[in-house]
Amino acid sequence: MSAADAGKSGGSAGMRAVTPPTPPTAKAEADTTTATTNEELRRTSSYIQYVEFARSRRRFTWAPGSGKAVEDWLYREFTGDAPSPSTSVLRFVQSLGEKGRRTHSTGERAGGDDKVTNLSCSALPNLSVKLTFTLDSWDNNIYNQPLSDPLVILSRVIVDSHKLLGKLGVPEIQFYNFLQQIQTRYMHSNTYHNSFHASDVLYTLNIMVSQPVLHDWLTPLEMFVMLVAAIVHDVGHDGFNNDYHNNTKSPIALEHEFTSPQENNHLKITLMIMAMPSCNFLDYLPEGSIGRFKEILVGLVLGTDMKNHFGLLGDVQCLIGDHGPDFRTWPRTDDTFMKLARFLLHCADISNPSKPTDLSKKWTHNIMEEFFRQGDAERARGMPISPMCDRDACSVPLAQIGFINYIVLPTFKLLAQLLPGLEQPALGNIIRNLEYW
């Protein structure tokens, strides 16, 4: 994406230090015969990556006056505690329950006499408007299609390609209404966090889940929630990162208790739309699936807070260390699925440097302009300007080099172990983009 794929939670005002992930205890280091818990392994892995970054940055030649800002941004953007749902989000999650579940075949609520309005598919979009690319190339450009806003059509085409609505009993009209509502709540005034970014993340994640080894491993419900999470993961984003909202005590920071305000707000908007009778496809899911859908969705969207980066990588590294890179040999638990799914969505979210250079440059321009607009707002408020947000001082090439070297490249090397079929297109583009910058 750009020096910033991290536009969600980036640098905070001021120059306060960021506390690194907790290192392993001395006892854990000394007692090699004691079985280490998965959580300890995750923390250890995160800490090792943090230390390696700290060491390697000393060998990096920064341009005078630019290095501190890039270093500060990388520390603040990609280290921090794992996010959690706010009280506001939890209320919405609890309000969407199994009771009143509808059946697609009868249009009646399961366990009740309250009938829903008969739905007509006449309002569905004309899918004869074709995308100008297929769904199987990593290098496709989401901008190269005939639609002014591709999110609804692309979402329909991708979900239909896996026949997920039929497998799960979800009516087309309910899901289409949901997509329309989501699309209208992406802010087109944003240069980066808009429906084109959501479309690109969806497209990229679909390439991953379409790899035969992963496609056959996922259940239809799991694949469906992953794709929905990509569609909604930045809905309502206003172009300012989490630290800006927290520092200005914005309404969403206050509502979500200063905890991942953007990600929690994306969830709140999504759940509010799902609660609309015309958009509530949850009611039609197989019995017992609604709770699982909500659990996965909340975990995935919260996982897009970039401060969770090292934790996500650490989880997957631990699983590879214990069971090898073939995830089909991993324990098939909800926890294992969640760790892999969060990692894959994160990969899609920071994938812009893994795309062809001309496209990657366009994403870079878009995200940096959004960063600079935040810097302009901070300057107007008399606040310290966040790292990478000062249009008069930021070095875009240095930001990209740091982002690729320390965040994107290690992430996609890990992805290549899981999905070897993506190694050449993704890593090849990353190396070429690194050389460009």
Q: Which residues are catalytic?
A: 193
Q: Which amino acid is at 236?
A: G
| Contact in structure between 370 and 193 (CB atoms under 8 Å) | yes
- What is the full DSSP assignment across 207-247? HHHTSHHHHTTS-HHHHHHHHHHHHHTTTT--S--HHHHHH
Residue 62 DSSP code: P
- If we measure between CA atoms, which residue out of 254, 124, 119, 232 comes closest to residue 181? 232
| Contact in structure between 374 and 389 (CB atoms under 8 Å) | yes
- What is the full DSSP assignment across 255-312? HTTTSSHHHHHHHHHHHHHHTSTTT-GGGGSPTT-HHHHHHHHHHHHHTTSGGGHHHH
Distance (Å, whole) CA 419 – CA 236? 32
Helices of type H across 284-395? 290-302, 309-323, 334-349, 357-381
Residue 15 DSSP code: -
- At CA 274, angle to CA 268 and CA 275, rounded to 5? 90
Tell the burial category of 64 from Cβ atoms under 10 Å away from its Cβ (0-12, 13-18, 19+). exposed
Tell the burial category of 144 from Cβ atoms under 10 Å away from its Cβ (0-12, 13-18, 19+). exposed
Contacts of 34 (CB under 8 A, 6+ apart): 28
- What is the full DSSP assignment across 171-198? -HHHHHHHHHHHHHTS-TT-SSSSHHHH
Show the tokens assigned to 106: 């009868």
Distance (Å, whole) CA 2 – CA 7? 9
3-state helix, strand, coil in the chain (%, to 5): 60, 0, 40
Contacts of 14 (CB under 8 A, 6+ apart): 384
